[in-house]
Amino acid sequence: MEELSLHILDVAENSIRAGARSVEIQIEEDLNKDRLVIVIRDDGEGMDEETQRSALDPFFTTKEAKRVGLGLPLLAAAARRTNGTITIRSGQGRGTEVRATFQHSHIDCQPLGDVAETMRMLIVGNPDVEFRFRHRRPGGEKRLDTREIKKSLKGAAINSIQGIRMIRKVLEEAAWR
């Protein structure tokens, strides 16, 4: 994966496959500390201890149709290439939190990519899942909460044309100035 937004998409899709009804995605760019932190937290079924220990092994997967699971191992490799770390906290019935930390200025730090488009794809493709998104960086913060968007749609589906326009508007209005 060439962009961090694609890693975010992959981990969030894992959350949804694990039965998450709510997914929170946080990005924090702190230039003073030279850190980029990505956190994806869900309320899915979570992982038992053995699965959690194996989650970063590229030859481990819980998907029956696959023999390898590269999403988390690739994210871990991307973080480690930049003097960063990855942690996974999970428990059965308690959801999962994936936290990846990168050295922001490192030459091998992948570009963030189009996170707004990633959020649009996740929301439109999973209208029954609640998403909360926050991206904080010097000069501002973007926020999106699908619960608020759904209220303002007054019964229209979040993946309707009206809903897609609202998602785009919320992300554009939250742009950094």
pLDDT at 67: 40
Confidence at residue 173, expressed as pLDDT on a 0 to 100 scale: 74
First to last CA, the chain: 29
The pLDDT of residue 160: 96
Alpha-carbon span 117 to 73, nearest angstrom: 23
Neighbours of 117 (CB within 10 A): 13
In angstroms, the CA 92 to CA 59 distance is 22
Among 135, 116, 111, residue whose Cα is nearest residue 3: 111
Nearest to 9 by CA among 107, 54, 75, 66: 75
Residue 109 per-residue DSSP state: P
pLDDT at 61 (0 to 100):
67
Please tell me the predicted confidence (pLDDT) of residue 158. Answer: 96
Q: How confident is the chain (177 residues) per 10-residue block, as mean pLDDT? A: 93 94 97 97 93 79 54 93 96 95 97 94 97 93 94 94 92 64
- Give the start-to-end residue ranges of the domains of the chain: 4-173
Q: How far apart are CA 108 and CA 79, in angstroms?
A: 9
Dihedral sign for Cα atoms in the order 122, 16, 3, 34: positive
Nearest-angstrom CA–CA distance, 99 and 76: 10
d(CA 142, CA 114): 13
- Model pTM score: 0.90
DSSP state at residue 94:
T
4-173 has CATH 2.30.300.10 classification: no
Q: How many Cα atoms occupy the beta-carbon half-sphere of 122 within 13 Å?
A: 34
